[in-house]
Structure formats: structure tokens, C-alpha cells
Structure 1
Amino acid sequence: MGPCLWILMLIVTHITAFRRPRDLSPCQVFQEDANCSNLNLTKIPIHLPATIHTLDLSRNLLQNLTDDVLLAYSSIQHLNLHSNKIQFIQPGLFQALTRLQVLDLSRNFLDLYAALKTPIGPLTSVQRLDLSGNGLFTDMSGYFLNDAPALTNLSLDGNSITKICRDTFNGTQALRNIDLHNNVIIEIEEGAFESLSNLSELDLSMNSISCIVDFNLFQLKTLNLRQNSMTNFQTIDSELEFELLYLDLRENKIIYFPVLPRKNKLIYLDLSRNLLRSVNCSGSLEELENLRDSGYLLTDHDKHISCISKRHQDLPRLLYLDLSYNQLKSVPSSFFGSMVSLETLNISNNCLESFSVDSESPLNALKTLDISFNNLHNLSFGERTLAALEVLHLQGNALSTLDGSIFSRLPSIRSLHLQQNQLSICSSQWGPAKDCISLSGISTLSYLYLSDNNLLSVPQSAFQGSPLLILDLSLNPGMEVSPLSLSGLETTLSHLSLRGNQLQRLPFDFTLFRKLKSLDLSVNRLSGLSLWSGDSSVESLNLQNNSLVTLAPDMLQKALRTLYVGSNPLSCCRNQHLLTLLQQDRLMVPDIAAVTCWYTKDSENMEISMSAVQPEHCKSVNVKVLLISVIVVLVLGLLVLTVIMKLLFHSRRHRFNRGIKA
């Protein structure tokens, strides 16, 4: 081999050896982003471009962070170290990374580092820091926060912090967002958050805070205290305006309505799943003693709420109020007096027996009202109230007698949920009566749910003048319907449910309903069907749990796309059109696994899956039918021949007798 060739090989080998680390780098590099996630790395990779801005090292096996490699990437702005095994960080490591803005150290073992009691700072340029899921205890967070002047967003969720000390955030005065949810916080020292003048969002949900009686964070806009052990929430009495917009107090043990700022900007208030017994913000000592007698553990703060001075609480900007899943027995109409902007009100799942809206508190901005699953017997809406109401939930109550025209007075109503009551429907010909409700002539009504009302009948033209798109009349066993019960809905109705009504026949010609797309006739007693006289627009048809043996070809219209037909005694051999559609994939049957049919084999009825039917399953039946047909023809032929022979014999005999007589 010549010397030139040796030199060439040495050069190629040297170049290959020089480039191999980068060529074989397990990371994916695209422009200024390097993705090294989930590669079982134990060290930070070398030979990445020095100009990268984002380095994702999440879900690896890194244990120690030192400056031997990381400082080579001085342009990093976003460093993701989520879900490693990091337990040591070289102090001062991030100071040299002057462009670093986002640092994610979540789901590591930084409690082991904090045990060394050595700050990692300074974090000179870091704006977002995630320390969640690191097993940090009280005071440990200080080793990461003592010098972070640019920090605006901090996450400490999923740790084991029990106390927020007064000096916890002294080194992070620029904070705007703090996430402390899912810790074990019991105590917050006075002044812990007051010095953070830019603080806008604070999440303290899923902790063990028992009460807040002197809330004074005027600048805060969002406060989440969901799922604590709070029995009371009270702001300080001040004439200054609070900036608070969102207050989440759900899933606590609050007994009385919180004491809110005199001047506030609240638009969202959630008090669901508490122990509210009254919408008053205070109670008498006698009421509290009754709570004690019922097994409720009273604290000093609970006793305090009976002694606070009642202050006038206006909520003029409130848009959303949730009081569901409490123990309210009444809510006076005057309670809503200041809520002139309220759009959504949920008082479902309480103990209300009556509810009224009068002209003094008209709730004219309200769009959604949910009073479902109470024990309502009385319901009244005054004249010129609820002008904007679009959705009304009344399901799951005991309503039987209402003002017949109560819903006709709602000028914007679109959706009525009346299921699980005891209501009756008035005929449009007679107008509203005392023992029924009028559902005709409501020009804005599009969605009507009347299932499970023990309806005895649907009168003629019951919905005339109400342009319904969806009508649910299901679960009213024994309900009588006539050909004109749905009169007036021919040009609007798109979904109709008659499920579970024990219907044996259908008096409707659904061809007339030109926009009907979905028809639910399941769980009835239908044995024969004639649904339409011409082309139908129905795309989805549910016939489950009936008594159908055959489906006529004209029932399986061209528009039909989806058919539910399980739990019927279908014949395997008398539904050839259905079998053809299934074989050609021209019809979707989502419950095909539950669709069975019957055929006869050796004089025994056999049941198989409809999708498993083969031509041989119907051969024996065809042979028997043919044999029976032949026998019938032969018998008829013999009978005809016998009759003809008798007639001929009688005719000849008559002629013979006449000849002798002559």
C-alpha cells in the first residue's frame, strides 16, 4: 500500500473520529431547540450546538448538576430538568447562565439538596421556576428563592409544606403567580404575601387551611382555596377597592356566606360542595350550638362569625355564582338584589322547597339558572323578570303544579330541562290551566326535556308554535300519543326520543318531519313498524329492546347511516336486506356485537350473532318451505281434479238417463 493511500486513510479516520460524537448524539436538534427527553441519560450531553436556546433533559436519570458541561451552553433560555433524580446542584451554577428565563426542576429529589442548607442562587434572570413534586418541607423552599429578583412565576405544588413563613418570599419580590396547591399547609404567617405588590394569582388549593379571617391582599386578582378545611372566609373591613376577580372556595366546610369586600370587582365566586346553611354572612350562637349538637366540631373562628358586624355586600360585577351541593333550605329573592350582572347561577343539589324571582331582584342579565335536584314544590317568576334567561334546569324536583304560563313569560328561553318531575302538558287549544304547563307558542324554545315525568298523554298540538330542535319524551311508561301530538314540529325537529314508554304502536308518519336526523324508539314493545310513507331524513335510528322480528326494506332508508337494533327477536332469514347492508358496509350498527337472530335447525330454534349468519343457516328453512309449497300445490291439484271428475261423471249420467226416458 502506497504512502499516499496511508495518509488518506489517516485523514478520513481522524475526520470520522472527530465527527462521531455529534453524529451519534441521541438528542434531536431543530434550529435552536435540543430535545434530549426520555433517553436514560446520566450526564448532560456534550457536543450540542453552543447556540441552543431550549434544552429539554426531562425524564432522564441525571443526579448531579455541575458546571463542567452546562456552562458550555450559555445561550440557554429554557432549561427543562423535569422528572430526573437530581439531588445535588452546584451552588451558583445558574448565575453564569445570564439568559436563562425558564427553569423546570420539578419531580426530582431536591429535598436532599435542601438538607445541605446551601442556597443554589443567585437566579439572576430566571422568570419562571418550577419546584413541584420535590418533597420539600417548610423552610426548604428558601434555599431556592433567597435571591431570584426577576422571578414572576413560581410553582411549589405537590410538596410537603405545612407553613408559609413571613420571610419565605423576601428574595422574590417580583412574583406575580404562586402555585402552592397540593401541599399540607396549615398556617400562613401574617405578612407572608403582603410585601408582594405585584402578586396577581395565588393557588392554595388542596391544603389544610381552616380559615381566613383577615384577607387583605388588595392587589390579588385570582385566589384558589378549593379543597381545604375552611369554615370561614372573611376580608378585612376597608373602604379601599379589592382587585379580586376570581374566588374559588369550593369543597370546604363553610357554613355561612363569606364576608366579602365592601368594594370589589368579583366576577367569579364558587362556593359549591360546602356546608352552607344560609346565604347570610353570619349566624346566631343558637344556630352554631345546633351545629355542635349535630356533630359539627366548632372552632374559635366559627364562634367569631356569629359576632362580626353585618356589612352591606354588593356584587355588581359578579357573572358566575355556584352554590350547588350545599344544605340551603331557602334563598330569598332579595339576596340577588345587587347582582345586576349575574349570568350564571347554580343552586342545584340543595334542600330548596321554593324559589322565586321578583321585580325587586329581576336578575335580568341571567342566562343560565340551575335549580335542579332540590325538593321544589313552588316556583314563581314575576312579570318582567329573567329577561335574558336562555337555559333553565329544573330536573330532579317534585314539581307538579305550576302557573301554566310560567315558561311563556321567559322571552329568551332556549332550553328547558324538566325531567324527573310530575308535570302535565296543556293542549294548545285550551291554553294553560292550573294542573298543566303550556309549552306551545314559545317562539324561542329549541330544546325541551320531559323524560321521567309520568306523563299520561301528549295532547294534540302540544308544542305548536315552539320551534323545537330536540324533544325528549322518554321514560314516561304508558304515555298516550296521537297522530297530532307532534303537530307543528314538522319543519324544525331534528332529534326525538320516545325511549322507554312501553309503546306498542306509533301513530306518526316520520316522513313529514323533514329535518329529523335522530330517532330513539328503544325500550318499547314495538313488534311491527311503519315509520314512513316516503323518503326519510333520519340518519340515526335506535330500535334496541323491542319485539321486532323483521325490518322491512323500506325502513332502511338511503339516508340512514346508524342503526341500533340489539335485544330484538330478529329472524335470521327474513332480514335479507339488513344482512346485505351489513355485508356491504353500507350501514353502521354500533351494537352489532349484541345483535342476535333466530333460525330453525332440525326443528329447533337456534340463536346466533347477526354478523355470523351464513347462507347455509337458511337452506333448511328454504327446503322446508319449498316442500310445503309442493305439497300444497299437489293437494290443491288433486282436489281440483276430483271436482272436475265428479262434474264429468254427473254430466254423463244425466245424459244417459235422458236418453232412456225418451
Structure 2
Amino acid sequence: CYPHLPDFFLFLKHCYKSIFSLYSVPVDLDVRLRRLDLSNNFIRQLHTLVLPYLEQLDLSANQLDLISEGAFKNLAQLKELNLSRNALNNNLDSNSKALQSISRLQSLDISVNSLNGEAVELYLRNKSSLDQLKMTGNALTRLSHSLFKESKGLRDITIEDNTISVIEEGTFEPLSQLEMLNLAKNNLVQICDFKLHHLKYLNLSRNSLEYFFTHEDDQLYRLEILDLSFNKLLYFPIVPKMSSLRYLHLQNNMIGTLNSEATMVSEANSLYNEIIKEKIARKNNLHSNWRLMPLIYIDLSYNHFTSFPLETLSLLSSLETLNFSYNCLQNIVWNIRNHSDSSYSRQIFFPSLKHLDLQSNGLLYISPLFLNALTQIEALNLQDNSLQLCASMEHLRSSQSTQQISLNTSCIAFGRLRTLKHLNLKENKIKMLNPNTFQGTSLVSLNLARNSDMVMHEGALDSVQTTIQSLIISEINMTSSDLSLPCMPVLTELKAANNRLDIIPSSLSCSPLREIDIRNNVLMTLNHSLIHALSGNLDRIYISGNHFNCCDSKWVTVLKELQIEMPDMSDTECFTSISNMVMTEYLKNPLLYCSLHKKAQEVHFGQMFIIVLFAFVILTAFILFTRKRSSSKIQYNKKPTCYCIYMYTF
């Protein structure tokens, strides 16, 4: 932009953006420019710029390979420089000397320039004011201790997507202001000693890390976010004892491969002692450090756990969210070592855990003792497992003997989860939903989708009818006669797509529904009086994939008059005796289509009447003809007899 603005606004912010592709920097630039964006052009050489007020310069995605030594000497206010996606690996002497003349530079991006370590060191000379550095997608294989010796004020460094396999001791330690370090997508194999006390964010994802250890000391570490995802870790990391770590990403590793939790912890401690050359194993370093960690979030999805690491994770007293999806659990059993030889099972707790994701583990059984430990659980995701639900104790007592109750030990009962609000049971092959299955919970949302052929007994949702706000019962292969819903006075969302419903339950009239999804059922019409009852709150309804009767469409008119959204109306079809058509096409002229439908019905009735009448006439004629022929045969048979008698007399 190059507008004619008042001088005051021009002083605050001004910019120039080329409209056409450029092969050189324009010579007629306003010297008052504050921001200059020349990215995505074809500039190969950069000569002296006279822009004394320029603060931001973007030359990314050009073909720049030569910067004259004096190119930046008149840019006294330049603070941000983007040179990414060029060819700065050429003409290093001239290019590096040009950058050395910028004394106030705070942000530098030299990503994707095929730079090695020596080239980067040249570009970083005389950069004591540098605060942010990006070097993504270069050719760095090793980080030397002298790399940042003239840039000790760096706060944010990104060296993602290189081939770094070695980091020399002393490379980052002198950077006392460093808070964010991104080393993702490199070739690092191990972190033997993490010593960056001031760092708040560390990303080591997508390397080849096998372990991450920190020597024990009494210094406070400010690290809050540690991303070790997509590596080859076999063990939990041993983090600083005095840490501020709150978010730990360990997804897509190999943790749990060693099967038992005790083996994994023991081997991690042995390896740690070997690395720090501790001859005597003094204590459980992993657990002692984890016990002090103020972690609130940990992601352990896509690992190799075959058993749930109860003791290790229970040490995290502040943990609120645990993602344990896509592992190899079949059972969560209470395998806790007791403090004594007593046969009494020691109870541990997850006192802060609110969100637990166990999706896609192949779970068949969850110990009641584990559920008892979830004292504050609010959201539980059990999708894509093989769990069966227990009936409430009242129902069992009334329908089974004590012996039968004791045999039913493989099911899961939610009655002990009194804080539970959100439950996902999608794709569990659930066979039976007994009365008051969720008694004792405070469910707000419940997902029962894709439990094909599940039988829902009357009263199954009665115990949570006053709390449920979202109910998903899609893809259960359920008919209207199978579906029994109580009055749910706070239900705002119902998803019942891909079933065999031909009627929407009238009990929903007392629900303040805002969204309904009834796609792909066998509905021929909707009860417009029910729609009127829901109209005070209903915002959206999905209806496609049903077998609606075009000429019984008063409900469509009601929905349109009430301005209720039908997002899939253009995909919705209706049917007449003549053909099927898209609902929107029918609604353009419903009288025409329905008059044709009526005429077709009249013609059809007339044709049927004529056919029946014709058939009656033919049948009557046939009967008369048959009788007449029978009579003729009788008379014919009598004549010879009489004739014979007559001849004999004569």
C-alpha cells in the first residue's frame, strides 16, 4: 500500500507492497516507510537502501544470493529482517558483512537457505540485540559452543527441520534470556543432561530420542512445556526435580514396550545411574522427580502400553488431563504393590484428574478400584473398545439372584463416578442398556453411537434425564418401537442419524432442543405439532436421507415459517407416486406437483375401476357361457335315449 494518508498516521505505520513481480528493489520508495514487504519476487541482488525509518523488511521467497556490504548501513531503525527461502549459502563474505552493519536487529529469519554451521556463525556476528532467530530447513548437522557467542540476548530460537545430531556442551547454556527453543525434526538420539534453567518451552519432537535425563540438582527450572512426541522413547523422561513443568507431550513413542511398569521404572533408573556414573542405586530417581512435578497435562497416546502405569501416573497429584488413547490395553487391573505382606489392596488416587481419554485400546475390563481412584473425573472417553455395561444394583437385585450378580464381573459400572459429566461409549459393541445404567452420575453428554443392535430398555436414561444436554444415538440400527426416551427437560442436542426411525418420540416435546440430526432414517413426515412445541429453542435440524412424502409437507412449511435452519435441505428428497425429487425443487411449486400427484391418484383409481369392472364382466360372461354349455350337453345326451326308445316302439 502507498496511500495518501495524513503525516501523523504515516509516521505510525506505512508500507509498500509490490503489485507486480519485481527483479530489483524499486528506486522511488518513500523514505518515511516503516514496513517494506518485497516477498515472493525474483530479486537476486540487494544494493544500498536509503530508508532511515524502516523497521520491518521482508525479502523472503526471492532468489537473493548477493547482498552488497553497504546494503543495510542506512537502515538504522531496522528491527525485523526476513531473508528466508533464498540462496544465502552463496557469497558468504559479502552477505555476512552486510548483516553485521545492522546493530539494532531484534528478529532474524534465515530459514531455508542451505546454510551450514559455519555460515550461520558468520551471519550471527555483531547480533547482541537479537531476540528471535529462525533457522528452519537449513543444512545444520552440529551446533557448536561458539555458534551464539555474539547473540547472548536470544529469547526465542527455532532450528527445526535440519539434520542436527550433536549439540556441544555450552551451546545454549550461556543464553541466560532463552525461553523458547524448537529443535523439532532433527536427528538427536539422546538428551543426557538438560541444564537450561531459564527455558520455558522446549520442542524436541520428531527426532530419534531414546531417553531424556536430567542430573539431579536443587536449582529451579522454569520449563513449563516439554514436547518429546514422535521419538523412540522407551522410558518416561527424568525431568528436573525442581521444575515448573505443566505440559508433557509423549505421544507416538515406544513407552510401554517393556511390558510391566516395574521393569520400565527399574531399567530407567539403572540407565540413569549408569549415565551419571552413580555406582550405588540410591533411590527411585524417576518417581522421586515425578512426585514433585506440577504437571496438569500429559499425552501418552500412540505408545505400546499393555498395562496401565498406575503407580507412576498417580504421583502426578496436579494432573487434570491424561490422553492414553491408542495403546494396547485390554484390562486395567489393580496391580499395586502393597507396603506390607498384607493381602489388603493399597488404594491410590488421581485427586485432580478431570479428563481421561482411553479411546481405541481394546479394553474388555476396568477394575472398580481404578474407577474409585477417579475422584474428580468429569470427562471419560471410552470410544472404540469392547466394554459391556453393568445394570444398576437395584435392577440386579430385582431381576437376578445373588449368584447371578456375582458372575457378572466383566462389566463396567459408572455409579461410583459421581462427578462424571461427559461419557463417550461410541463403538463398544454394547448389547444391553439396562434401566438406570448411569445412576449415580451427573451426565451432561452421552455418546452411544455405533453400538449396532444395542437394546435400550425402558428407563435406561431415567436416572440422568434431568442432567443430559447432549445425546448421540446414531448408527444403532434402532427402530422407533425400540427407542424409549423419557422427558429430558435440559436436552439441547439430539443426534439419531442412520437408524430406522419412522417417528420422532413425542416425549421430546418437553426438551429445549436447539439441534436435531435425524438423517438417514425412514421418516415419511414429521409431526408439525411437535415442531411447534420445540420451536421456542430449535435452531437447526438435519433431515436428508429419509423417505418423505412430498404431498404431506406441512412440517416443512412450519420449519420455514419458524426460520429454523435446514442445512441439508438441498440434499433432501421427497417422493410421489410418479417420481422422487429434491425437496427444494418441489417447494418451488408444491401445488403443481401435488395436483399431478392427485390426478395420478385419480387416474390410477379410474384405471383400477375399469380393470375391475372389465374383469367382472368377463367373469360373468364366462360363468354364463359355462352354464349354457353345460345345459346344452345335458340336452344333447338325452336325445339319443329318447330316440332309441322311440325307434323301439315303432
TM-score by length of 1: 0.75
Give the match for residue 467 of structure 2.
492
State the Cα distance separating 1:206 from its structure 2 match: 0.9
Higher share of residues assigned helix: 2
1:597 pairs with one of 544, 552, 574: 574
The gaps in structure 2 that reach 5 residues or longer are 339-343, 398-404, 611-650
Alpha-carbon spacing, 1:632–1:539, altered in 2? closer, same or farther (3 Å): farther
2:15 pairs with one of 11, 20, 35: 35
Residues 56-75 of structure 1: matches in 2 within 5 Å?
56-67=37-48, 70-71=49-50, 73-75=51-53
Residues 11-410 of structure 1: matches in 2 within 5 Å?
30-40=10-20, 41=22, 42-50=24-32, 52-67=33-48, 70-71=49-50, 73-114=51-92, 118-120=96-98, 121-236=100-215, 240-276=219-255, 277-278=257-258, 280=264, 283=267, 312-313=285-286, 314-315=289-290, 316-319=292-295, 320-330=297-307, 332-336=309-313, 338-355=315-332, 383=347, 385-402=349-366, 407=371, 410=374
Question: What amino acid does structure 1 have at the position aligned with 2:352?
Answer: A
State the Cα distance separating 1:35 from its structure 2 match: 1.8
CA distance in 1, matches of 2:276, 2:77: 55
Question: What amino acid does structure 1 have at the position aligned with 2:565?
Answer: M
Question: What amino acid does structure 1 have at the position aligned with 2:76?
Answer: T
Q: Are the aligned partners of 1:139 and 1:165 in contact in 2 as well (CA < 8 Å)?
A: no
Tell me the secondary structure at the aligned position of residue 388 of structure 2. coil
Alignment deviations for residues 524-573 of structure 1 (CA, whole Å, 9 cap, x no partner): 22234453485653232222222222333324333443232222222222
Alpha-carbon spacing, 1:263–1:253, altered in 2? closer, same or farther (3 Å): same
Q: Are the aligned partners of 2:333 and 2:367 in contact in 1 as well (CA < 8 Å)?
A: no
Alpha-carbon spacing, 1:151–1:521, altered in 2? closer, same or farther (3 Å): closer
Tell me the secondary structure at the aligned position of residue 90 of structure 2. helix
Alignment deviations for residues 44-85 of structure 1 (CA, whole Å, 9 cap, x no partner): 4535143x4433343444333322xx23x2233333333333
Counterpart check, 1:416 vs 2:368: no
Question: What amino acid does structure 2 have at the position aligned with 1:101?
Answer: K
Q: Are the aligned partners of 2:322 and 2:356 in contact in 1 as well (CA < 8 Å)?
A: no
CA distance in 1, matches of 2:129, 2:171: 19
CA distance in 2, matches of 1:30, 1:509: 68
State the Cα distance separating 1:440 from its structure 2 match: 4.5
Alignment deviations for residues 601-639 of structure 1 (CA, whole Å, 9 cap, x no partner): 3xxxx22222222433332431354578899999xxxxx
State the Cα distance separating 1:325 from its structure 2 match: 1.7
Query: Matched residues, percent identical?
Result: 27
Give the match for residue 427 of structure 1.
392
Tell me the secondary structure at the aligned position of residue 394 of structure 2. coil
Q: Are the aligned partners of 2:333 and 2:366 in contact in 1 as well (CA < 8 Å)?
A: no
Tell me the secondary structure at the aligned position of residue 141 of structure 1. helix
State the Cα distance separating 1:453 from its structure 2 match: 3.1
State the Cα distance separating 1:359 from its structure 2 match: 9.1
Q: Are the aligned partners of 1:528 and 1:548 in contact in 2 as well (CA < 8 Å)?
A: yes
CA distance in 2, matches of 1:537, 1:260: 50
Alignment deviations for residues 624-661 of structure 1 (CA, whole Å, 9 cap, x no partner): 54578899999xxxxxxxxxxxxxxxxxxxxxxxxxxx
Alpha-carbon spacing, 1:357–1:128, altered in 2? closer, same or farther (3 Å): farther
Q: Are the aligned partners of 1:428 and 1:460 in contact in 2 as well (CA < 8 Å)?
A: no
Alpha-carbon spacing, 1:181–1:572, altered in 2? closer, same or farther (3 Å): same
The gaps in structure 1 that reach 5 residues or longer are 1-21, 288-300, 362-379, 635-662
Q: Are the aligned partners of 1:423 and 1:455 in contact in 2 as well (CA < 8 Å)?
A: yes
State the Cα distance separating 1:180 from its structure 2 match: 0.7
Alignment deviations for residues 221-271 of structure 1 (CA, whole Å, 9 cap, x no partner): 432211112233334565655444433221112233344445544333322
Alpha-carbon spacing, 1:384–1:584, altered in 2? closer, same or farther (3 Å): same
CA distance in 2, matches of 1:183, 1:122: 28
Give the match for residue 618 of structure 2.
none
CA distance in 1, matches of 2:165, 2:277: 24
Question: What amino acid does structure 1 have at the position aligned with 2:549?
Answer: S
State the Cα distance separating 1:273 from its structure 2 match: 1.2
Number of positions where the alignment pairs a residue of Structure 1 with one of Structure 2: 572
Alpha-carbon spacing, 1:382–1:470, altered in 2? closer, same or farther (3 Å): farther
Tell me the secondary structure at the aligned position of residue 89 of structure 2. helix
Question: What amino acid does structure 2 have at the position aligned with 1:621?
Answer: H
Tell me the secondary structure at the aligned position of residue 142 of structure 1. helix
